[in-house]
Structure 1
Protein backbone atom coordinates (compact mmCIF):
# COMPACT_ATOMS: atom_id res chain seq x y z
CA UNK A 1 0.00 0.00 0.00
CA UNK A 2 1.27 3.46 -0.88
CA UNK A 3 2.15 5.69 2.02
CA UNK A 4 -0.50 8.28 2.93
CA UNK A 5 0.64 11.68 1.73
CA UNK A 6 3.45 10.04 -0.24
CA UNK A 7 6.01 12.61 -1.34
CA UNK A 8 4.19 15.44 0.43
CA UNK A 9 4.33 16.80 3.96
CA UNK A 10 1.28 15.26 5.68
CA UNK A 11 0.75 18.37 7.82
CA UNK A 12 0.64 20.56 4.71
CA UNK A 13 -1.66 18.09 2.96
CA UNK A 14 -4.11 18.08 5.87
CA UNK A 15 -4.00 21.87 5.98
CA UNK A 16 -4.86 22.07 2.27
CA UNK A 17 -7.78 19.68 2.71
CA UNK A 18 -9.05 21.60 5.74
CA UNK A 19 -8.92 24.89 3.85
CA UNK A 20 -10.76 23.38 0.90
CA UNK A 21 -13.47 22.10 3.25
CA UNK A 22 -13.66 25.25 5.38
CA UNK A 23 -16.84 26.62 3.79
CA UNK A 24 -18.63 23.33 3.21
CA UNK A 25 -21.47 24.30 5.56
CA UNK A 26 -21.87 27.75 4.01
CA UNK A 27 -25.04 28.55 2.08
CA UNK A 28 -22.95 29.50 -0.95
CA UNK A 29 -19.60 27.86 -1.63
CA UNK A 30 -16.78 30.39 -1.54
CA UNK A 31 -13.56 30.52 -3.48
CA UNK A 32 -10.57 28.88 -1.78
CA UNK A 33 -7.28 30.36 -2.90
CA UNK A 34 -4.43 27.91 -2.50
CA UNK A 35 -0.95 29.09 -3.41
CA UNK A 36 0.58 28.26 -6.77
CA UNK A 37 3.30 26.21 -5.09
CA UNK A 38 0.69 24.17 -3.19
CA UNK A 39 -1.22 23.40 -6.38
CA UNK A 40 1.96 22.40 -8.19
CA UNK A 41 2.81 20.06 -5.33
CA UNK A 42 -0.65 18.46 -5.51
CA UNK A 43 -0.19 17.90 -9.25
CA UNK A 44 3.34 16.51 -9.14
CA UNK A 45 2.71 14.27 -6.12
CA UNK A 46 -0.53 12.80 -7.46
CA UNK A 47 1.06 12.37 -10.89
CA UNK A 48 3.64 10.02 -9.42
CA UNK A 49 0.94 8.02 -7.64
CA UNK A 50 -1.07 7.69 -10.87
CA UNK A 51 1.98 6.35 -12.68
CA UNK A 52 2.74 3.88 -9.88
CA UNK A 53 -0.76 2.43 -10.15
CA UNK A 54 -1.99 0.54 -13.23
CA UNK A 55 -3.85 2.03 -16.18
CA UNK A 56 -6.62 -0.50 -15.52
CA UNK A 57 -7.32 -0.28 -11.80
CA UNK A 58 -8.46 -3.53 -10.18
CA UNK A 59 -10.71 -2.61 -7.28
CA UNK A 60 -13.03 -4.28 -4.80
CA UNK A 61 -16.50 -3.45 -3.53
CA UNK A 62 -17.79 -1.67 -1.53
CA UNK A 63 -16.99 1.45 -3.52
CA UNK A 64 -19.00 4.49 -4.55
CA UNK A 65 -18.80 5.49 -8.20
CA UNK A 66 -19.24 9.10 -9.28
CA UNK A 67 -19.60 10.64 -12.72
CA UNK A 68 -18.97 14.11 -14.13
CA UNK A 69 -18.36 16.94 -11.64
CA UNK A 70 -17.38 19.67 -14.15
CA UNK A 71 -16.22 22.29 -11.70
CA UNK A 72 -19.39 22.19 -9.58
CA UNK A 73 -17.56 22.33 -6.28
CA UNK A 74 -20.72 22.69 -4.22
CA UNK A 75 -22.08 19.51 -5.79
CA UNK A 76 -18.85 17.68 -4.96
CA UNK A 77 -19.09 18.73 -1.32
CA UNK A 78 -22.75 17.67 -1.17
CA UNK A 79 -21.80 14.36 -2.73
CA UNK A 80 -19.31 13.74 0.07
CA UNK A 81 -21.87 14.86 2.66
CA UNK A 82 -24.24 12.26 1.26
CA UNK A 83 -21.80 9.42 0.66
CA UNK A 84 -19.30 10.06 3.44
CA UNK A 85 -16.08 12.06 3.37
CA UNK A 86 -12.95 9.96 2.76
CA UNK A 87 -11.85 7.67 4.31
CA UNK A 88 -15.37 6.85 5.54
CA UNK A 89 -16.14 5.50 2.06
CA UNK A 90 -14.08 4.32 -0.90
CA UNK A 91 -14.58 6.29 -4.12
CA UNK A 92 -14.04 5.91 -7.84
CA UNK A 93 -14.55 9.02 -9.99
CA UNK A 94 -15.01 8.56 -13.73
CA UNK A 95 -13.49 11.80 -15.01
CA UNK A 96 -14.54 15.26 -16.23
CA UNK A 97 -13.55 17.16 -13.11
CA UNK A 98 -12.97 20.49 -14.84
CA UNK A 99 -14.64 22.88 -17.33
CA UNK A 100 -18.12 24.42 -17.42
CA UNK A 101 -18.49 24.99 -13.68
CA UNK A 102 -17.14 28.02 -11.85
CA UNK A 103 -14.79 26.23 -9.45
CA UNK A 104 -12.77 23.71 -11.38
CA UNK A 105 -9.66 24.56 -9.36
CA UNK A 106 -11.22 23.81 -5.98
CA UNK A 107 -12.80 20.66 -7.42
CA UNK A 108 -9.66 19.13 -8.88
CA UNK A 109 -7.45 20.23 -5.97
CA UNK A 110 -9.66 18.52 -3.40
CA UNK A 111 -9.80 15.35 -5.50
CA UNK A 112 -6.02 15.29 -5.95
CA UNK A 113 -5.49 15.94 -2.25
CA UNK A 114 -7.71 12.99 -1.32
CA UNK A 115 -5.89 10.83 -3.87
CA UNK A 116 -2.58 11.65 -2.21
CA UNK A 117 -3.89 11.11 1.33
CA UNK A 118 -5.78 7.87 0.58
CA UNK A 119 -4.07 6.38 -2.50
CA UNK A 120 -5.54 2.89 -2.02
CA UNK A 121 -9.09 4.02 -1.22
CA UNK A 122 -9.69 6.97 -3.54
CA UNK A 123 -9.43 6.64 -7.31
CA UNK A 124 -9.67 9.02 -10.25
CA UNK A 125 -10.09 8.05 -13.91
CA UNK A 126 -9.51 10.27 -16.90
CA UNK A 127 -12.40 11.91 -18.71
CA UNK A 128 -12.40 13.54 -22.13
CA UNK A 129 -12.12 16.97 -20.45
CA UNK A 130 -8.84 15.97 -18.79
CA UNK A 131 -7.23 16.83 -22.10
CA UNK A 132 -5.53 20.10 -23.06
CA UNK A 133 -7.31 20.53 -26.40
CA UNK A 134 -10.70 20.29 -24.66
CA UNK A 135 -10.22 22.17 -21.39
CA UNK A 136 -8.37 24.88 -23.33
CA UNK A 137 -11.79 25.75 -24.79
CA UNK A 138 -14.44 24.90 -22.19
CA UNK A 139 -13.35 26.98 -19.22
CA UNK A 140 -10.51 25.43 -17.23
CA UNK A 141 -7.75 27.23 -19.11
CA UNK A 142 -9.48 30.56 -18.60
CA UNK A 143 -9.99 29.87 -14.88
CA UNK A 144 -6.32 28.96 -14.43
CA UNK A 145 -5.21 32.04 -16.36
CA UNK A 146 -7.58 34.36 -14.45
CA UNK A 147 -6.70 33.08 -10.98
CA UNK A 148 -3.05 32.14 -11.56
CA UNK A 149 -1.30 31.83 -14.92
CA UNK A 150 -0.94 29.60 -17.96
CA UNK A 151 1.95 27.73 -16.32
CA UNK A 152 -0.38 26.24 -13.72
CA UNK A 153 -2.70 25.01 -16.49
CA UNK A 154 0.27 23.27 -18.12
CA UNK A 155 1.12 21.66 -14.78
CA UNK A 156 -2.41 20.26 -14.59
CA UNK A 157 -2.06 19.01 -18.18
CA UNK A 158 1.05 17.06 -17.22
CA UNK A 159 -0.90 15.53 -14.32
CA UNK A 160 -3.99 14.69 -16.41
CA UNK A 161 -1.80 12.93 -18.99
CA UNK A 162 -0.95 10.34 -16.31
CA UNK A 163 -4.47 9.48 -15.12
CA UNK A 164 -5.63 5.85 -15.44
CA UNK A 165 -8.44 5.29 -17.92
CA UNK A 166 -10.47 2.32 -16.64
CA UNK A 167 -11.26 0.30 -13.54
CA UNK A 168 -12.45 -3.26 -12.99
CA UNK A 169 -14.47 -3.91 -9.84
CA UNK A 170 -14.51 -7.48 -8.52
CA UNK A 171 -13.73 -8.69 -12.06
CA UNK A 172 -17.38 -8.03 -12.96
CA UNK A 173 -17.91 -4.30 -13.51
CA UNK A 174 -15.82 -2.41 -16.06
CA UNK A 175 -15.76 1.35 -15.50
CA UNK A 176 -14.59 4.12 -17.80
CA UNK A 177 -15.61 7.64 -18.70
CA UNK A 178 -16.93 7.10 -22.21
CA UNK A 179 -17.58 3.55 -23.32
CA UNK A 180 -16.58 0.57 -25.39
CA UNK A 181 -14.32 0.52 -28.43
CA UNK A 182 -14.30 -1.62 -31.59
CA UNK A 183 -10.56 -1.97 -30.97
CA UNK A 184 -11.03 -3.47 -27.50
CA UNK A 185 -10.68 -7.25 -27.52
CA UNK A 186 -8.56 -7.80 -24.40
CA UNK A 187 -8.26 -5.91 -21.12
CA UNK A 188 -4.49 -6.17 -21.54
CA UNK A 189 -4.83 -3.54 -24.26
CA UNK A 190 -5.97 -1.08 -21.60
CA UNK A 191 -3.23 -2.17 -19.22
CA UNK A 192 -0.63 -1.63 -21.93
CA UNK A 193 -1.63 1.90 -22.94
CA UNK A 194 1.36 4.17 -22.43
CA UNK A 195 1.43 7.07 -20.01
CA UNK A 196 1.94 9.99 -19.88
CA UNK A 197 -0.01 10.61 -23.06
CA UNK A 198 -2.31 13.11 -24.70
CA UNK A 199 -5.68 11.84 -25.93
CA UNK A 200 -5.47 10.89 -29.62
CA UNK A 201 -8.18 11.68 -32.18
CA UNK A 202 -9.04 8.00 -32.68
CA UNK A 203 -8.30 4.54 -31.36
CA UNK A 204 -8.79 2.71 -28.08
CA UNK A 205 -7.89 5.51 -25.66
CA UNK A 206 -10.07 7.99 -27.53
CA UNK A 207 -13.04 5.60 -27.48
CA UNK A 208 -12.72 4.81 -23.77
CA UNK A 209 -13.12 8.54 -23.10
CA UNK A 210 -15.55 9.53 -25.87
CA UNK A 211 -17.87 6.74 -27.09
CA UNK A 212 -21.58 6.64 -26.22
CA UNK A 213 -24.24 3.91 -25.99
CA UNK A 214 -27.27 4.32 -28.23
CA UNK A 215 -30.73 2.78 -28.04
CA UNK A 216 -31.13 3.35 -31.78
CA UNK A 217 -28.02 1.57 -33.05
CA UNK A 218 -27.00 -2.05 -33.56
CA UNK A 219 -23.29 -2.57 -33.68
CA UNK A 220 -21.15 0.53 -34.11
CA UNK A 221 -22.52 3.84 -35.33
CA UNK A 222 -21.47 7.39 -36.11
CA UNK A 223 -21.20 9.59 -33.04
CA UNK A 224 -22.85 13.02 -33.30
CA UNK A 225 -20.00 14.44 -31.24
CA UNK A 226 -17.78 14.02 -34.29
CA UNK A 227 -15.42 11.86 -32.24
CA UNK A 228 -15.39 8.10 -31.66
CA UNK A 229 -18.49 5.89 -32.06
CA UNK A 230 -21.85 4.97 -30.66
CA UNK A 231 -22.46 1.36 -29.68
CA UNK A 232 -25.63 -0.67 -29.42
CA UNK A 233 -26.90 -2.98 -26.71
CA UNK A 234 -25.71 -5.92 -28.79
CA UNK A 235 -22.12 -4.74 -28.40
CA UNK A 236 -22.55 -4.43 -24.64
CA UNK A 237 -23.98 -7.95 -24.48
CA UNK A 238 -21.20 -9.31 -26.68
CA UNK A 239 -18.46 -7.68 -24.61
CA UNK A 240 -19.89 -8.79 -21.26
CA UNK A 241 -20.32 -12.38 -22.40
CA UNK A 242 -16.82 -12.56 -23.89
CA UNK A 243 -15.25 -11.29 -20.67
CA UNK A 244 -17.62 -12.89 -18.14
CA UNK A 245 -18.69 -9.53 -16.74
CA UNK A 246 -21.99 -8.18 -15.50
CA UNK A 247 -21.91 -4.46 -16.14
CA UNK A 248 -20.30 -1.59 -18.02
CA UNK A 249 -20.34 1.55 -15.87
CA UNK A 250 -19.73 4.92 -17.53
CA UNK A 251 -20.45 8.64 -17.27
CA UNK A 252 -20.07 11.25 -20.06
CA UNK A 253 -23.82 11.96 -20.46
CA UNK A 254 -26.44 13.33 -18.10
CA UNK A 255 -29.49 11.22 -17.30
CA UNK A 256 -32.85 12.25 -15.87
CA UNK A 257 -33.18 8.85 -14.20
CA UNK A 258 -30.30 9.19 -11.77
CA UNK A 259 -28.05 6.19 -12.12
CA UNK A 260 -30.05 4.94 -15.10
CA UNK A 261 -29.43 1.21 -15.37
CA UNK A 262 -30.88 0.12 -18.69
CA UNK A 263 -31.35 -3.65 -18.81
CA UNK A 264 -30.81 -4.83 -22.38
CA UNK A 265 -30.56 -8.55 -21.73
CA UNK A 266 -29.17 -10.86 -19.06
CA UNK A 267 -25.70 -9.75 -20.17
CA UNK A 268 -26.41 -6.33 -21.65
CA UNK A 269 -26.44 -3.63 -19.02
CA UNK A 270 -24.70 -0.34 -18.75
CA UNK A 271 -24.84 2.17 -15.96
CA UNK A 272 -24.73 5.95 -16.11
CA UNK A 273 -22.82 6.67 -12.94
CA UNK A 274 -23.31 9.66 -10.69
CA UNK A 275 -23.30 8.18 -7.24
CA UNK A 276 -24.36 4.78 -6.09
CA UNK A 277 -23.98 2.77 -2.98
CA UNK A 278 -23.63 -0.98 -3.23
CA UNK A 279 -27.14 -1.52 -1.83
CA UNK A 280 -28.61 0.73 -4.54
CA UNK A 281 -26.81 -1.14 -7.31
CA UNK A 282 -27.84 -4.53 -5.98
CA UNK A 283 -31.48 -3.40 -5.88
CA UNK A 284 -31.39 -2.06 -9.44
CA UNK A 285 -29.72 -5.19 -10.84
CA UNK A 286 -32.22 -7.66 -9.37
Structure 2
Protein backbone atom coordinates (compact mmCIF):
# COMPACT_ATOMS: atom_id res chain seq x y z
CA UNK A 1 0.00 0.00 0.00
CA UNK A 2 1.94 2.96 -1.30
CA UNK A 3 -0.75 5.43 -0.27
CA UNK A 4 -1.10 5.15 3.51
CA UNK A 5 -3.93 7.68 3.45
CA UNK A 6 -6.15 4.81 2.23
CA UNK A 7 -5.57 2.94 5.50
CA UNK A 8 -8.97 2.18 7.07
CA UNK A 9 -7.96 2.33 10.73
CA UNK A 10 -11.46 1.89 12.13
CA UNK A 11 -11.91 -1.30 10.13
CA UNK A 12 -8.51 -2.64 11.15
CA UNK A 13 -9.00 -1.86 14.84
CA UNK A 14 -12.52 -3.26 14.74
CA UNK A 15 -11.35 -6.59 13.32
CA UNK A 16 -8.48 -6.79 15.81
CA UNK A 17 -10.93 -6.26 18.68
CA UNK A 18 -13.52 -8.74 17.41
CA UNK A 19 -11.73 -11.60 19.18
CA UNK A 20 -12.37 -10.10 22.63
CA UNK A 21 -13.97 -12.79 24.75
CA UNK A 22 -12.84 -15.56 22.41
CA UNK A 23 -10.64 -18.42 23.45
CA UNK A 24 -7.03 -17.13 23.56
CA UNK A 25 -5.13 -18.01 20.42
CA UNK A 26 -7.67 -17.08 17.76
CA UNK A 27 -5.82 -15.22 15.01
CA UNK A 28 -6.84 -12.03 13.22
CA UNK A 29 -5.61 -12.17 9.64
CA UNK A 30 -5.18 -8.64 8.29
CA UNK A 31 -4.09 -8.27 4.69
CA UNK A 32 -0.42 -7.82 3.93
CA UNK A 33 -1.16 -4.39 2.44
CA UNK A 34 -2.92 -3.30 5.63
CA UNK A 35 0.01 -4.36 7.80
CA UNK A 36 2.51 -2.70 5.49
CA UNK A 37 0.42 0.46 5.65
CA UNK A 38 0.46 0.38 9.46
CA UNK A 39 4.25 0.10 9.44
CA UNK A 40 4.78 2.89 6.93
CA UNK A 41 2.38 5.37 8.51
CA UNK A 42 3.52 4.74 12.10
CA UNK A 43 7.16 5.01 11.00
CA UNK A 44 6.36 8.43 9.58
CA UNK A 45 4.79 9.49 12.90
CA UNK A 46 7.70 8.13 14.98
CA UNK A 47 10.16 10.19 12.94
CA UNK A 48 8.00 13.30 13.28
CA UNK A 49 8.13 13.06 17.09
CA UNK A 50 11.21 13.37 19.33
CA UNK A 51 13.41 10.38 20.10
CA UNK A 52 13.22 11.52 23.75
CA UNK A 53 9.54 12.09 24.46
CA UNK A 54 8.41 14.70 26.98
CA UNK A 55 5.03 13.59 28.30
CA UNK A 56 2.52 14.70 30.91
CA UNK A 57 0.36 12.77 33.36
CA UNK A 58 -2.22 11.30 33.56
CA UNK A 59 -0.55 8.47 31.70
CA UNK A 60 -0.65 4.69 32.08
CA UNK A 61 2.74 3.15 31.41
CA UNK A 62 2.92 -0.55 30.64
CA UNK A 63 5.54 -3.30 30.65
CA UNK A 64 6.36 -5.95 28.06
CA UNK A 65 3.67 -7.63 25.98
CA UNK A 66 5.83 -10.20 24.12
CA UNK A 67 3.16 -11.38 21.72
CA UNK A 68 0.56 -12.15 24.40
CA UNK A 69 -2.28 -10.52 22.50
CA UNK A 70 -5.11 -11.55 24.78
CA UNK A 71 -3.22 -10.14 27.77
CA UNK A 72 -2.99 -6.84 25.89
CA UNK A 73 -6.74 -6.87 25.32
CA UNK A 74 -7.37 -7.53 29.01
CA UNK A 75 -5.04 -4.69 29.93
CA UNK A 76 -7.12 -2.32 27.80
CA UNK A 77 -10.33 -3.72 29.28
CA UNK A 78 -9.02 -2.84 32.74
CA UNK A 79 -7.22 0.42 32.01
CA UNK A 80 -9.52 1.79 29.33
CA UNK A 81 -9.33 1.47 25.55
CA UNK A 82 -7.81 4.48 23.77
CA UNK A 83 -8.68 7.32 23.79
CA UNK A 84 -10.28 6.80 27.21
CA UNK A 85 -6.78 6.59 28.71
CA UNK A 86 -3.36 7.80 27.58
CA UNK A 87 -0.64 5.16 27.33
CA UNK A 88 3.12 4.76 27.17
CA UNK A 89 4.39 1.26 26.37
CA UNK A 90 7.98 0.36 27.15
CA UNK A 91 8.97 -1.96 24.35
CA UNK A 92 9.24 -5.72 23.77
CA UNK A 93 6.00 -6.07 21.85
CA UNK A 94 7.12 -9.11 19.85
CA UNK A 95 8.79 -12.53 20.35
CA UNK A 96 8.09 -15.41 22.75
CA UNK A 97 4.29 -15.21 22.56
CA UNK A 98 2.27 -16.72 19.73
CA UNK A 99 0.55 -13.55 18.48
CA UNK A 100 3.19 -10.91 17.98
CA UNK A 101 1.53 -9.79 14.75
CA UNK A 102 -1.85 -9.00 16.32
CA UNK A 103 -0.09 -7.33 19.24
CA UNK A 104 2.11 -4.99 17.24
CA UNK A 105 -0.61 -4.25 14.65
CA UNK A 106 -3.10 -3.09 17.30
CA UNK A 107 -0.45 -0.94 18.99
CA UNK A 108 0.61 0.64 15.69
CA UNK A 109 -3.02 1.25 14.71
CA UNK A 110 -3.69 3.07 17.99
CA UNK A 111 -0.48 5.07 17.54
CA UNK A 112 -1.66 6.25 14.13
CA UNK A 113 -5.20 7.02 15.31
CA UNK A 114 -4.14 8.82 18.52
CA UNK A 115 -0.58 10.07 17.86
CA UNK A 116 -0.55 12.57 20.76
CA UNK A 117 -2.10 10.24 23.34
CA UNK A 118 -0.54 6.85 22.64
CA UNK A 119 3.22 6.27 22.78
CA UNK A 120 5.52 3.33 22.10
CA UNK A 121 9.17 3.09 23.15
CA UNK A 122 11.68 0.72 21.65
CA UNK A 123 12.66 -2.44 23.48
CA UNK A 124 15.62 -4.72 22.90
CA UNK A 125 13.32 -7.12 21.00
CA UNK A 126 12.46 -4.40 18.48
CA UNK A 127 15.75 -5.27 16.82
CA UNK A 128 16.28 -7.57 13.84
CA UNK A 129 19.15 -9.54 15.38
CA UNK A 130 16.99 -10.42 18.41
CA UNK A 131 13.52 -11.01 16.94
CA UNK A 132 15.14 -13.02 14.13
CA UNK A 133 15.84 -15.64 16.82
CA UNK A 134 13.06 -15.43 19.40
CA UNK A 135 9.95 -15.95 17.31
CA UNK A 136 8.79 -12.86 15.43
CA UNK A 137 10.69 -13.66 12.23
CA UNK A 138 9.25 -17.18 12.17
CA UNK A 139 5.71 -15.88 12.78
CA UNK A 140 6.00 -13.37 9.93
CA UNK A 141 7.45 -16.03 7.62
CA UNK A 142 4.75 -18.58 8.51
CA UNK A 143 1.75 -16.24 8.24
CA UNK A 144 2.98 -13.82 5.56
CA UNK A 145 6.53 -13.54 4.23
CA UNK A 146 10.06 -12.42 5.08
CA UNK A 147 9.63 -9.16 3.18
CA UNK A 148 6.96 -8.08 5.69
CA UNK A 149 9.34 -8.84 8.58
CA UNK A 150 11.85 -6.49 6.94
CA UNK A 151 9.15 -3.81 6.75
CA UNK A 152 8.62 -4.16 10.51
CA UNK A 153 12.39 -3.85 11.01
CA UNK A 154 12.38 -0.53 9.14
CA UNK A 155 9.56 0.65 11.41
CA UNK A 156 11.22 -0.53 14.64
CA UNK A 157 14.42 1.30 13.70
CA UNK A 158 12.50 4.58 14.02
CA UNK A 159 10.89 4.08 17.44
CA UNK A 160 11.64 6.61 20.21
CA UNK A 161 14.13 5.47 22.83
CA UNK A 162 13.14 7.19 26.08
CA UNK A 163 10.58 9.45 27.74
CA UNK A 164 10.44 11.87 30.65
CA UNK A 165 7.06 12.13 32.40
CA UNK A 166 6.18 15.41 34.15
CA UNK A 167 9.89 16.34 34.06
CA UNK A 168 10.54 13.93 36.96
CA UNK A 169 10.27 10.29 35.84
CA UNK A 170 12.86 8.92 33.41
CA UNK A 171 11.54 6.09 31.26
CA UNK A 172 13.31 3.81 28.81
CA UNK A 173 13.36 0.12 28.10
CA UNK A 174 16.40 -1.10 30.00
CA UNK A 175 16.89 -4.78 30.74
CA UNK A 176 15.85 -7.43 33.21
CA UNK A 177 17.56 -9.96 35.47
CA UNK A 178 17.63 -12.78 32.96
CA UNK A 179 15.90 -13.98 29.85
CA UNK A 180 13.24 -16.19 31.42
CA UNK A 181 10.03 -16.67 29.49
CA UNK A 182 6.60 -15.31 30.37
CA UNK A 183 3.61 -17.50 31.23
CA UNK A 184 1.32 -18.00 28.25
CA UNK A 185 -2.26 -16.77 28.17
CA UNK A 186 -4.90 -19.27 29.39
CA UNK A 187 -2.95 -20.91 32.21
CA UNK A 188 -1.97 -17.58 33.79
CA UNK A 189 -4.53 -16.27 36.28
CA UNK A 190 -6.30 -13.11 35.03
CA UNK A 191 -5.50 -10.52 37.68
CA UNK A 192 -5.57 -6.74 37.42
CA UNK A 193 -2.00 -5.96 36.51
CA UNK A 194 -1.83 -2.53 34.97
CA UNK A 195 1.57 -0.86 34.97
CA UNK A 196 1.48 2.68 36.28
CA UNK A 197 5.08 3.64 35.63
CA UNK A 198 7.94 2.61 33.36
CA UNK A 199 11.27 0.90 33.03
CA UNK A 200 14.76 2.22 32.51
CA UNK A 201 18.35 1.31 31.85
CA UNK A 202 21.27 3.66 32.39
CA UNK A 203 24.57 4.12 30.61
CA UNK A 204 28.04 5.25 31.71
CA UNK A 205 28.08 7.24 28.47
CA UNK A 206 24.97 9.25 29.38
CA UNK A 207 26.05 12.66 30.65
CA UNK A 208 23.30 14.80 29.13
CA UNK A 209 19.78 14.22 27.84
CA UNK A 210 20.93 16.02 24.72
CA UNK A 211 22.97 12.91 23.85
CA UNK A 212 19.73 10.93 23.53
CA UNK A 213 18.17 13.68 21.42
CA UNK A 214 21.15 13.53 19.04
CA UNK A 215 20.71 9.83 18.22
CA UNK A 216 19.80 9.70 14.55
CA UNK A 217 17.01 7.50 13.24
CA UNK A 218 16.50 5.11 11.56
CA UNK A 219 19.09 3.08 13.44
CA UNK A 220 19.77 -0.51 14.34
CA UNK A 221 20.75 -1.31 17.94
CA UNK A 222 24.56 -1.40 18.23
CA UNK A 223 26.46 -3.94 20.33
CA UNK A 224 27.70 -1.26 22.72
CA UNK A 225 27.34 2.40 23.60
CA UNK A 226 24.52 4.66 24.74
CA UNK A 227 21.64 3.23 22.71
CA UNK A 228 22.60 -0.33 23.58
CA UNK A 229 22.76 0.50 27.30
CA UNK A 230 19.39 2.27 27.33
CA UNK A 231 17.80 -0.93 26.04
CA UNK A 232 19.89 -3.53 27.89
CA UNK A 233 21.44 -2.36 31.19
CA UNK A 234 20.23 -3.75 34.53
CA UNK A 235 20.13 -2.53 38.15
CA UNK A 236 21.97 -4.73 40.65
CA UNK A 237 21.84 -4.11 44.40
CA UNK A 238 25.12 -6.00 44.88
CA UNK A 239 27.10 -3.76 42.51
CA UNK A 240 29.04 -0.65 43.48
CA UNK A 241 29.07 1.73 40.53
CA UNK A 242 29.10 -0.12 37.21
CA UNK A 243 29.52 -3.87 36.80
CA UNK A 244 29.63 -6.57 34.16
CA UNK A 245 26.30 -7.84 32.87
CA UNK A 246 25.71 -11.60 32.87
CA UNK A 247 23.91 -11.21 29.55
CA UNK A 248 27.22 -10.40 27.89
CA UNK A 249 25.70 -7.11 26.73
CA UNK A 250 25.91 -3.67 28.38
CA UNK A 251 26.37 -3.19 32.14
CA UNK A 252 24.77 -3.48 35.54
CA UNK A 253 24.52 -0.43 37.80
CA UNK A 254 24.24 0.09 41.54
CA UNK A 255 22.41 2.42 43.90
CA UNK A 256 25.12 5.09 43.81
CA UNK A 257 24.82 5.39 40.02
CA UNK A 258 21.06 5.86 40.34
CA UNK A 259 21.38 8.49 43.07
CA UNK A 260 23.90 10.52 41.06
CA UNK A 261 21.80 10.27 37.91
CA UNK A 262 18.64 11.46 39.65
CA UNK A 263 20.44 14.36 41.33
CA UNK A 264 22.27 15.48 38.20
CA UNK A 265 19.14 15.57 36.05
CA UNK A 266 16.72 16.78 38.76
CA UNK A 267 14.61 13.64 38.52
CA UNK A 268 12.60 11.81 41.18
CA UNK A 269 12.49 8.28 39.89
CA UNK A 270 13.76 5.72 37.43
CA UNK A 271 11.27 2.94 36.68
CA UNK A 272 11.80 -0.25 34.71
CA UNK A 273 10.21 -3.60 33.90
CA UNK A 274 11.20 -6.69 31.84
CA UNK A 275 11.03 -9.55 34.30
CA UNK A 276 8.66 -11.91 36.06
CA UNK A 277 9.15 -11.07 39.71
CA UNK A 278 8.37 -14.48 41.14
CA UNK A 279 5.45 -16.68 42.20
CA UNK A 280 3.54 -16.86 45.45
CA UNK A 281 0.41 -15.59 47.19
CA UNK A 282 2.06 -12.29 48.17
CA UNK A 283 3.29 -11.57 44.65
CA UNK A 284 2.92 -7.93 43.63
CA UNK A 285 3.45 -6.26 40.23
CA UNK A 286 6.45 -4.20 41.31
CA UNK A 287 9.74 -4.37 43.19
CA UNK A 288 12.09 -1.66 44.44
CA UNK A 289 15.67 -2.42 43.38
CA UNK A 290 17.29 0.02 45.79
CA UNK A 291 15.04 2.40 47.72
CA UNK A 292 11.80 4.28 47.26
CA UNK A 293 13.80 7.13 45.76
CA UNK A 294 15.64 4.92 43.28
CA UNK A 295 14.69 2.30 40.72
CA UNK A 296 11.28 0.64 40.51
CA UNK A 297 10.88 -2.62 38.59
CA UNK A 298 7.41 -3.34 37.23
CA UNK A 299 6.06 -6.76 36.26
CA UNK A 300 5.76 -7.58 32.57
CA UNK A 301 2.19 -7.29 31.35
CA UNK A 302 2.54 -10.70 29.71
CA UNK A 303 3.74 -12.25 32.94
CA UNK A 304 1.07 -10.84 35.17
CA UNK A 305 -2.23 -11.59 33.41
- The partner residue of 1:8 within 5, 22, 39 is 5
**Matching residue within 269, 280, 284 for 1:247:** 269
Find 1:148's aligned residue among 144, 150, 164.
144
Which residue matches 2:225? 203
- The answer to whether structure 1 residue 167 and structure 2 residue 163 are counterparts is yes
Matched, 1:127 2:153: no
2-side partners of 1:237 and 1:259: how far apart? 23
Measured in 1, the distance between the counterparts of 2:292 and 2:231 equals 26
Pair 1:115–1:50, CA change in 2 (3 A)? same
Partner of 2:295: 269
CA contact (8 A) 1:176 1:251 kept: no
The TM-score normalised by the length of structure 2 is 0.85
Q: CA RMSD in A?
A: 1.6
Q: Distance in 1 between matches of 2:211 and 2:276?
A: 28
Q: Could you say which residue in structure 2 is the equivalent of 1:181?
A: 203
Whether 2:192 is the aligned partner of 1:190: answer: no
Deviation at 1:249, TM superposition (A): 1.6
SS in 1 for 2:274: coil
Q: Which residue of 1 aligns with 2:180?
A: none
Equivalent pairs counted in the alignment come to 269
Q: CA deviation at 1:233?
A: 1.4
* Contact map agreement 1:97 1:129 (CA 8 A) in 2: yes
Match of 1:86 among 75, 82, 86: 82
C-alpha distance in structure 1 between counterparts of 2:150 and 2:52, whole Å: 25
Residue 75 of structure 1 and its aligned partner are, at CA, apart by: 0.6
**Alpha carbons of structure 1 residues 35 and 135: separation in structure 2 relative to 1, 3 Å:** same
Structure-2 change in CA distance of 1:106 and 1:252 (3 Å): same
Per-residue deviation at 1:190?
Answer: 0.7
Contact 1:62–1:90 under 8 Å retained in 2: yes
Output one character per residue of 1:26-54: Cα deviation in whole Å (capped at 9) or x when no partner.
23341000000000000000000000000
Q: 1:217 aligns with which of 239, 262, 277?
A: 239
SS in 2 for 1:185: coil
Q: Is the 8 A contact 2:89 2:119 kept in 1?
A: yes
Instruction: Tell me, yes or no, if structure 1 residue 138 matches structure 2 residue 134.
Output: yes
Distance 1:273 1:168, change over 3 A: farther
Tell me, yes or no, if the aligned pair for 2:275 and 2:299 is still in contact at 8 Å: no
Select the residue among 92, 97, 119 that pairs with 1:101.
Answer: 97
Deviation at 1:252, TM superposition (A): 2.5
Which 5+ residue runs of structure 2 have no aligned equivalent?
A: 175-200
The alpha-carbon deviation at position 121 of structure 1 amounts to 0.3
- TM-score scaled by length of structure 1: 0.90
| Structure 2 residue 229 is the aligned partner of structure 1 residue 233 | no
Shift of 1:273: 5.6
Query: 2:82 touches 2:110 (CA, 8 Å); kept in 1?
Result: yes
- Structure 2 residue aligned with 1:3: none
